[in-house]
A and B are shown apart, each in its own frame.
Chain A
Amino acid sequence: MSEAKASMSEAKASIDKETVEQVAQFGGEHYKYGFTTEIDMDRVENGLSEDIIRFISAKKEEPQWLLDWRLDAYERWLTMEEPEWAHVDYPKIDYQDLCYYAAPKSMEDGPKSLDEVDPELLKTYKKLGIPLIEQEMLAGVRKVAVDAVFDSVSVGTTFRDELAKDGVIFCSFSEAVKEHPDLVQKYLGSVVPKSDNYFTALNSAVFSDGSFVYIPPGVRCPMELSTYFRINEANTGQFERTLVIADKGSYVSYLEGCTAPMRDENQLHAAVVELVALEDAEIKYSTVQNWYPGDADGKGGIYNFVTKRGDCREDRARISWTQVETGSAVTWKYPSCILRGDGSSGEFYSIAISNNLQQVDSGTKMIHLGKNTSSKIISKGISAGRSSNCYRGQVSVHPKAANARNFTQCDSLLIGDKCAAHTVPYIEAKNLSALLEHEATTSKISDDQLFFCQQRGLDAEEAVALIVNGFCRDVLQNLPMEFAVEAQQLVGISLEGSVG
């Protein structure tokens, strides 16, 4: 009798040990993008000042208007306070202790063709699974054009010539400033004003690069466009801007992915994404955010303070955000739609996963200004470990937005009993014809569900991944095919070590 008991408790102890090891590894081997690249970097002294901004602008050979724009943003930033309303908690950031510009030295001599990109960089992107050499793209697979941003600069954009045949402009932000200054000047800051919030003001002052997309009238972009952001340098902030303009009757699907090395100190990522959809245009914007989340004790990780907004500027424009958020130590992010044109529509599909000590405060804003505008929000929050996951959403119907429609579904799934889920919906209707629906659920993965799966041969991790993928199904179905599989796996990986 005692023998069986002993072997049982031994088995149990070894399972407990395994769990502990898995949790320990979570920040380690399981974050497979945690490597650093040894490369000669050109970086400025830490600290933020007018001089630094002038330096960045000069480095990029920017026109005077853009420098003035940056300086104006900086002046406004100085008068602003860091927001504290989000349900997140992190030590005060010392903005004078950050580096605001870091670029691989090999990029020094201006833009290059892809063939001349530093082999170390190519290797980095290859490790990340992102092909920067066009020939390496698998034959027969639908093509995806990539703009790769490494710390402060764009290191290469693929398929530009092929896209140019259709008049599609896809290049780094810096190049756009030089080659398409009219477009940049017309649309930059037109969706997210410089002083929209503390982080947009900071970004507007010091942004270093990013991606620029313009789809001409009536063109359906022939391939998926994507940007991969990579933070490599230590103590560096990443401040990129993405500007996507879909002219009348055009369509584009855009994906961004993000990774960073494992470092013990926190790193700041404060990006701004602006989307402009003109008459009958459609933009589908998908994000797979997998910044380093910090280790199991909450040490290190990215602060992801991002402002993303789309403007359905003209009639029947459509913008759809889909996000899979699994990384970052702290996330503060609300991809939103301004439904200005009559009959325009906005969608937000989100999966936000938090594990260990991660904190997420994310959601969306749907601002109904035009008549017959509609919006849809499907949010799936999954909390595990000791994490906190908050959905914060605003649906606002303005007085002139007759017949506005919104449907919101907001589901939270809890794994374990030390995590938290919060739902903070703001709903504001100033037109009586508005029809707004809000549904919310909170559930737990039950021990019985886990046991059922285990009895069918799945281990606990596989069981959680299966159940969570089922929970996220509505959102995963919205991702472009190429990325849906990747996202599904990511869901499993991010929850490793969440069951004991």
Chain B
Amino acid sequence: MSSLLDIKDLHAGITDKPIINGLSLSINPGEVHAIMGPNGSGKSTLSYVLSGKSGYEVNGGEMLFEGQELAEMTPEARAIAGLFLAFQYPLEIPGVTNMTFLKTSLNAIRRGRGEEDMDAASFLRLAREKSRALGMDDDMLRRQLNVGFSGGEKKRNEILQMAMLEPKLAILDETDSGLDIDALKTVAEGVNALRSPERGMLVITHYQRLLDFIKPDVVHVMAKGQIVKSGGPELALELEKSGYAEYVGGADAASAGSPAHA
């Protein structure tokens, strides 16, 4: 069976400070996995290590994306291969319009795949269609990237980029943080619209709340840099009741080597 993402016994962290300690995880096309865990358990680090942020080092193990070792690829090569990270804190780029950014990004990825740039008219049509589907008005495409955007607008904009780039694997890093319930629903609808048999998703979150809207196939509990428990959607509900206390103390005892599946 060919996994989309196959992480085996991953050790990683920032210089001299291990954060991920022997994590294993496997995601198949079409699956939505959720990772939950307390602050400091290494959830965001995992998303940075997978996407190749500088400053994070891989010290052991494997992370294969369609059989290719991610650690050997530049961040942009990973994006071109189809890995997308929806940022917890999307960055502002003053003076660059949302439209320009989307176009530059889409064409960089197309070029990286040996495809032609998309022509201006097709691009415009696509951008309008996708942004309207997310309930964004056209004005948002003309604004400077994330400058003066509300928290909800920034997150929705991340989903717009994801919709435009159509990645094979989308990692959503605490996409629910800072959103009110209405914004959360819109974002979740956007994400659900992108679920497909070819696409995998890794949803990182603190709270069950998001998972009410984005139904995961598998839920993992992460603590101290490892996956300490895996289960179906019911696991998230359990956590909501009992909290993480049970796992925070017990990570060392938990087995780290078994990639879990529903």
Cα–Cα distance between A221 and B208 once the two chains are bound (Å)? 68
B54 at interface by CB-CB < 8 Å: yes
Within 8 A of B (CB), among A443-473: 446-449, 451-459, 462, 466-467, 469-473
Residues in A with CB closer than 8 Å to B72 are 7-8, 10-11
Q: Which of B105-113, B178-186, B241-249 touches A?
A: B105-113
Residues in A with CB closer than 8 Å to B84 are 455
A481 at interface by CB-CB < 8 Å: no
Interface size, chain A (Cβ < 8 Å): 31
Residues in A with CB closer than 8 Å to B137 are none
Residues in B with CB closer than 8 Å to A457 are 76, 79-80, 105-106, 108-109, 112, 165
Mark interface residues in A184-202 (1 if CB within 8 Å of B CB, else 0).
Answer: 0000000000000000000
User: Which A residue sits closest to B105, measured CB to CB?
Assistant: A456
A139 at interface by CB-CB < 8 Å: no
Contact indicator B95/A471 (Cβ below 8 Å): yes
Cα–Cα distance between A11 and B70 once the two chains are bound (Å)? 11
B58 at interface by CB-CB < 8 Å: yes
B28 at interface by CB-CB < 8 Å: no
Contact indicator A447/B54 (Cβ below 8 Å): yes
A138 at interface by CB-CB < 8 Å: no
Check A8/B95 contact, CB under 8 A, given A457-B105, A458-B105.
Answer: no
B230 at interface by CB-CB < 8 Å: no
Contact indicator A470/B104 (Cβ below 8 Å): no
Q: Which of B86-94, B195-203, B219-227, B251-259 touches A?
A: B86-94
Within 8 A of A (CB), among B100-132: 100-101, 104-106, 108-109, 112
The interface centre, meaning the residue of A1, A446, A469 with most chain B CB atoms within 10 A of its CB, is: A1
A58 at interface by CB-CB < 8 Å: no
Check A449/B60 contact, CB under 8 A, given A455-B85, A457-B79, A458-B76.
Answer: no
User: Which A residue sits closest to B11, measured CB to CB?
Assistant: A1
Contact indicator A1/B96 (Cβ below 8 Å): no
Residues in B with CB closer than 8 Å to A472 are 95
Which residues in A have some Cβ–Cβ distance to B below 8 Å? 1-2, 4-5, 7-8, 10-11, 15, 446-449, 451-459, 462, 466-467, 469-474
Which residues in B have some Cβ–Cβ distance to A below 8 Å? 11, 51-55, 57-62, 69, 71-76, 78-80, 84-85, 87, 90-91, 93-96, 100-101, 104-106, 108-109, 112, 144-145, 161, 165
Known: A456-B101, A456-B161, A457-B108. 12 other contacts (CB 8 A): A4-B60, A7-B69, A15-B74, A451-B53, A452-B90, A454-B75, A456-B109, A457-B79, A457-B80, A457-B106, A459-B74, A466-B96
